[in-house]
Amino acid sequence: MHRFANPGRFLRLSNVILPWIAVLAAGLIAVGLYLALFVSPADYQQGESVRIMYVHVPSAWMAMFIYTVIAAASASSLIWRHPLADLVAKASSPIGACFTFLALVTGSLWGKPMWGTWWVWDARLTSVLVLFFLYLGHMALMGAFDSATRGARAAAILALVGFVNVPIIKFSVEWWSTLHQPASVLRLDGPSIHPSMLWPLLAMGLGFKLYYLALMLVRVKSELIAARLNARAATAAQLS
């Protein structure tokens, strides 16, 4: 990882791989949506409304995955002062917040017909709502200081402190009795979901991951270019 912490090398590499990732993400999401909405069967219990799963579950995965990326980037920013780590964290949190919001909204829309309620304060739903607020806090802290470095440092500490919430979300459905059912895919005795429904779900999951990667690279690139322009403007102002 340390080799790519050099901004120039990062820019050259991301220029090469970005189009591939973007095309792959669009393709996987298109195929995944087609499989999910037209090919995969209705569930024996839930009927057609099970199709909300193909958006809800990948969004929830991304909510936790992106937070983990932010926490890792924050640790490497605090410890090794990598110049790119803060940018990765800054670029990621709005994307993560959007995915968390999507997971909450689709979950609510799914909960009403299946459970009979839009929302309950059980351990899973509440801990995901806390994750959403952590994202918002991270975004706010980033911009709360005059100096970008101080903002990034404060946000990095928040991200690391908030990381304890990620295992809580994952295991909430096992530690406590909740309305939300336990995990179907990432479990010790193998997925409890039929292959005809698992494959579309995995395609969507991978598509969402690549989509995040593409979006994150674009955002880091634009931050780097903006920093260069600022530096150039500053030198020009000094010279004149």
Partner 1 sequence: MTRKRRRMVLVLAGLTALSAAVALVLYGLKETVTFFYSPSEVQAGAPPQGRAFRLGGLVEEGSVKKQGDGLTVEFSITDMAVSVPVTYRGILPDLFREGQGVITEGDLGTDGTFVAREVLAKHDETYMPREVADALKESGVWRDEEGSK
Binding site for partner 1 (CB under 8 A): 41-46, 50, 53, 75, 78-80, 113-117, 120, 122-123, 160-161, 163-164, 168, 175-179, 181-184, 187, 192-194, 196-197
Q: In this complex, which beta carbon is closest to partner 1, that of residue 14 or of residue 59?
A: 59
Handedness of CA 135, 137, 140, 145 (dihedral sign): negative
CB of 75 vs partner 1, minimal distance in Å: 6
Comparison of 17 and 79: residue with beta carbon closer to partner 1: 79
CB of 197 to partner 1, least distance (A): 5
Cα 145 to chain centroid, rounded? 25
DSSP state string for 57-78: HHHHHHHHHHHHHHHHHHHHHH
Kindly state the smallest distance separating residue 224's Cβ from partner 1, in Å.
24
Alpha carbon distance 222, 218 (integer Å): 6
Q: How many CB atoms lie within 10 A of CB 132?
A: 18
Backbone phi, psi, residue 157, to 5°? -65, -45
Distance of CA 141 to the CA centre of its chain: 18
CB nearer partner 1, residue 75 or residue 136: 75
Residue 64: CB minimum distance to partner 1, A: 17
**Distance between CA 198 and CA 57 in Å, rounded?**
11
Closest to partner 1 by CB, 95 vs 166, is 166
Minimum distance of partner 1 from residue 46's CB (angstroms):
7
CB of 76 to partner 1, least distance (A): 10
Instruction: Specify the residue, 52 or 62, whose C-beta has the smaller distance to partner 1.
Output: 52
Q: How far is CA 110 from CA 49, 53, 55, 56, in A?
A: 7, 8, 11, 9
d(CA 184, CA 158): 31
CB atoms within 10 A of CB 192: 12
Between 79 and 229, CB nearer to partner 1 = 79
